[in-house]
């Protein structure tokens, strides 16, 4: 028997009814990020492996364990992008954009990491990211954070907390690393081989280890916040003052180091923390991560250009929206049930005319019993339902049923003349988008 063909583990097919939520999130992102002055960048899915090794860092989980790396037919080592900050920086340098004082980009697309799977953690997942190159000023950090915060609000995500930290400047690191090494050194003999290797090659990465046994030790380690130089300290103070000014709540999280090597100064994450304390996402509750990376453009061969950015996990946002019962506002506004013969053709023409006017109207080409068509209308969550029968056709008046109201409600059914139908629906759609906006 031939083997059953299924999707690759950790990679999902996305379809209705979730896809409408995806589209809602993506549509809102494109509109909002554009309004905030970020233009879209689309980079290839596949890049030179060296790009990620040199940016994300050789001794990170992403590079050492999680990359989909392969050799192409020309013998080049290529990697399916595990993240998009490095590809964006590569593009920024390659196209000589360092000449510009300010470049702001956003991106939306699939990323690939060979991770241990669970709810909200996949091997192909989608990120929505925003990067700003140029300004070193704290207001750029805060603008970037404010964009993430406003976006989460705009799509109706609740109970996320902004965690904030500063990793200081490169010049602040040696003193900190020395303290960190001194702290871990007496315990190295008890470490796993992998942890020992991390200790030797990139001690800071022990701080975001996934090894449970190391957690208590890591919890007591010196924190970078105690080693910030004056410039990084002043910058961090200003970031906090500006967030307060913008009334964006945050918590200081001195242990937030992020799992990628390129960060300097501000780092942040938005974490889902419901009041009940029990998150359905568990450790996959981080819906957004980002920070400053002032040296990366230069390290990858470009000019000195400070930069800051974030990326959100769209899979996680959609899971949260689903759990909140959010309905994508793309439900059909009207479902038209049709009769047989010429009446069906009239109804079909009506549906098409309304669709041409940009109204979300649906029908079932199979026709059949009205009861079955009504079931179909419920299945696609239509807001209104109408039967286009002989009497409706002759009187040119439709009796429209509001599917969202209980049967006893006197407003459940209204008569609308055919000629007024399009403006009536337009009005109804406006009422819908106000009442259903999360
Ligand atoms: P990251 O923290 O590795 O940062 O990923 C950002 C977000 O992507 C995470 O907070 C999470 O929501 C989502 N994510 C990561 N891995 C998975 C996965 N396996 N399944 C589902 N969602 C996932 C970065 O990637 C940086 N490039 C962010 C950044 C942009 N920093 C500066 N600019």
- From first to last of its 438 residues, what are the pLDDT tens digits of the chain? 688 999 999 999 999 889 989 999 999 999 999 999 999 999 999 999 999 999 999 999 999 999 999 999 999 999 999 999 999 999 999 999 999 999 999 999 999 999 999 999 999 999 999 999 999 999 999 999 999 999 999 999 989 999 999 999 999 999 999 999 999 999 999 999 999 999 999 999 999 888 999 999 999 999 999 999 999 999 999 999 999 999 999 999 999 999 999 999 999 999 999 888 777 787 789 999 999 999 999 999 999 999 999 999 999 999 999 988 876 656 789 999 999 999 999 999 999 999 999 899 999 999 999 999 999 999 888 999 999 999 999 999 999 999 999 989 998 999 999 999 999 999 987 765 443 433
Q: What residue's CA is closest to ligand 1, atom 1? A: 289
Residue corresponding to tokens 């006893």: 408
Q: Which atom of ligand 1 is nearest to the CA of 115?
A: 19
Pairing, β 46-48 against β 77-80? antiparallel
- Spatial separation of the C-alpha atoms in residues 36 and 75, rounded to whole Å: 42
> In what side-by-side order are the strands of the sheet with 264-272?
39-40, 103-112, 124-133, 307-313, 286-292, 264-272, 160-166, 251-252
- Spatial separation of the C-alpha atoms in residues 153 and 147, rounded to whole Å: 10
- Contact in structure between 269 and 285 (CB atoms under 8 Å): no
- Contact in structure between 202 and 57 (CB atoms under 8 Å): yes
Q: Pocket around ligand 1: residues whose beta carbon is below 6 Å from it?
A: 83, 85, 113, 115, 120-122, 125, 127, 129, 131, 259-260, 286-291, 309-313, 315-316
Q: Ligand 1 centroid to 313 CA: how many Å? A: 6
Q: Ligand 1 centroid to 204 CA: how many Å? A: 19
> In what side-by-side order are the strands of the sheet with 334-338?
361-363, 334-338, 384-388, 397-402, 413-417
Q: Ligand 1 centroid to 288 CA: how many Å? A: 6
Q: What residue's CA is closest to ligand 1, atom 17? A: 121
pTM value is 0.85
Q: Ligand 1 pocket: which of 313, 317, 319, 321 to mutate (most atoms <8 Å of CB)?
A: 313
**Which pLDDT score is estimated for 430?**
73
**Which pLDDT score is estimated for 435?**
39
Q: What residue's CA is closest to ligand 1, atom 15? A: 313
**Which pLDDT score is estimated for 436?**
40
Q: Which atom of ligand 1 is nearest to the CA of 113?
A: 19
**Which pLDDT score is estimated for 330?**
65
**Which pLDDT score is estimated for 282?**
77
> Is residue 430 classed exposed, middle or buried when 0-12, 13-18 and 19+ CB atoms within 10 A define those classes?
exposed
Q: What residue's CA is closest to ligand 1, atom 13? A: 313
Q: What residue's CA is closest to ligand 1, atom 20? A: 121
**Which pLDDT score is estimated for 277?**
75
- Spatial separation of the C-alpha atoms in residues 405 and 421, rounded to whole Å: 20
**Which pLDDT score is estimated for 28?**
94
Is the preceding peptide bond at 283 cis, omega within 30 degrees of 0? no
Q: Ligand 1 centroid to 415 CA: how many Å? A: 51
Q: Give 357's contacts (C-beta < 8 A, 6+ positions apart).
A: 422, 426
Half-sphere exposure of 153 (CA within 13 A, CB side): 11
């Amino acid at each position: 028997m031939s083997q059953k063909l299924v999707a690759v583990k950790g990679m999902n097919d996305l379809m209705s009814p979730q896809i409408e939520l995806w589209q809602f999130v993506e549509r809102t992102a494109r509109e909002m990020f554009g309004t905030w002055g970020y233009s879209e960048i689309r980079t290839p899915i596949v890049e030179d492996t060296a790009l990620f090794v040199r940016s994300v860092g050789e001794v990170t989980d992403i590079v050492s364990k999680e990359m989909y790396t392969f050799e192409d037919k020309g013998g080049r080592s290529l990697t399916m992008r595990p993240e998009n900050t490095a590809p964006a920086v590569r593009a920024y340098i390659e196209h000589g954009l360092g000449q510009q004082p300010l470049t702001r980009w956003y991106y939306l697309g699939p990323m690939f990491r060979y991770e241990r799977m669970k709810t909200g953690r996949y091997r192909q997942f989608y990120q929505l990211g925003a990067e700003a190159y140029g300004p070193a000023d704290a207001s750029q950090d805060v603008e970037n954070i404010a964009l993430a915060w406003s976006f989460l609000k705009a799509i109706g995500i609740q109970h996320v907390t902004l965690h904030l930290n500063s990793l200081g400047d490169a010049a602040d690191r040696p003193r900190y690393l020395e303290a960190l090494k001194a702290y871990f050194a007496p315990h190295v003999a008890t470490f796993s081989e992998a942890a020992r290797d991390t200790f030797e090659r990139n001690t800071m990465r022990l701080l975001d280890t996934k090894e449970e046994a190391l957690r208590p030790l890591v919890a007591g380690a010196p924190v970078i916040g105690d080693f910030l130089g004056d410039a990084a300290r002043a910058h961090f103070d200003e970031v906090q003052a500006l967030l307060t000014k913008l009334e964006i709540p945050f918590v200081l999280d001195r242990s937030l180091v992020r799992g990628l090597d390129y960060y300097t100064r501000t780092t942040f994450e938005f974490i889902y923390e419901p009041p009940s304390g029990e998150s359905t996402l568990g450790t996959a509750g981080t819906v957004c991560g980002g920070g400053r990376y002032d040296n990366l453009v230069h390290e990858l061969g470009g000019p000195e250009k400070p930069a800051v950015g974030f990326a959100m996990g769209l899979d996680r946002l959609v899971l949260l929206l689903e759990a909140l019962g959010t309905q994508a506002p793309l439900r059909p506004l009207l479902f038209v049930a049709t009769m047989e013969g010429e009446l069906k053709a009239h109804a079909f023409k009506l549906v098409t005319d309304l669709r041409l006017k940009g109204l979300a109207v649906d029908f079932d080409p199979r026709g059949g019993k009205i009861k079955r068509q009504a079931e179909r209308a419920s299945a696609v969550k239509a807001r209104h339902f109408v039967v286009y029968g002989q009497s409706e056709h002759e009187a040119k008046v439709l009796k429209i049923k509001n599917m969202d109201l209980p049967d006893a409600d006197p407003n459940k059914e209204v008569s609308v003349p055919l000629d007024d139908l399009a403006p009536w629906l337009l009005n109804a759609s406006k009422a819908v988008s106000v009442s259903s906006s999360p």
